[in-house]
Amino acid sequence: MSIILPIEVSTTDTSKVYSVKALLNSGAMGNFIDRDFVQMKGINTQSISRPILVYNVDGSLNEAGQISEVVDIVLYYKIHSERMLLTVSSLGRQNMILGYTWLKDHNPEINWQTREVQMNRCPPRCEECHVIRKEQALRKRMETRALNVCQSRPPPEYAEDLEEDKAPVWTREAEYKPGDWLFMTRILPDSTAEDLHAISTTSQKLAEGACRFAEA
């Protein structure tokens, strides 16, 4: 079974970026880019010292002939990026094929029902993927921790219509109305962090509207 992967490639010599639909195919042993696509886009190729013979499944030589050129590109897909060589060959209806060697090396997680591909099992050399995944995991842990702290405490209510020279009054009984917002912010990322809670009130909304009208 195969799947189409929407990716971007950037040439290492000109830095031009192209959108390509790559076919993931475990039946192909290498990584290929279509010769017609290369010529149409004006992508520079490099000659290899030993041409590679291409065989069909039945052992006969492929009519596309031997492979004598490669393209040096940087492949981008979501958070994943890597520099790689693609062999130039005639692929017919496909612009690019990522074969068994690429699939084995990166071992992507493929959901065959939704046809989504997650690059979450890349080898150590894909350093950027690991850094971004660590940042995402840390952010998720901090958000979960902040949410747990927020849910464990009773939210305060700010008393409206106070005189300017009086301090705000907080009560533990809060009556929420449709459209009220509850905000939370974390000052520090450690155990000494302070949690601030506030709700958006009608008076605040009117004041904000008046400020925007005055600035206009």
The mean predicted confidence, pLDDT, of the chain is 75
pLDDT tens figures, 94-153:
999 999 999 999 988 888 888 888 888 887 777 666 566 666 667 777 777 777 776 676
Q: Hey, what are 76's tokens? A: 């981008």
Q: Hey, what are 185's tokens? A: 């912010």
The reported pTM is: 0.57
Nearest to 27 by CA among 2, 60, 63: 2
Residue, of 138 and 21, whose pLDDT is higher: 21
Residue, of 150 and 161, whose pLDDT is higher: 150
As a whole number of angstroms, the distance between CA 135 and CA 132 comes to 5
Does 194 score more than 60 pLDDT?
no
Q: How confident is the model at residue 90 (pLDDT cuts 50, 70, 90)?
A: confident
Q: How confident is the model at residue 72 (pLDDT cuts 50, 70, 90)?
A: very high
As a whole number of angstroms, the distance between CA 216 and CA 214 comes to 5
Q: How confident is the model at residue 10 (pLDDT cuts 50, 70, 90)?
A: very high
Q: Please, what are the domains in the chain? A: 2-121 (2.40.70.10), 153-215 (no CATH)
Q: How confident is the model at residue 30 (pLDDT cuts 50, 70, 90)?
A: confident
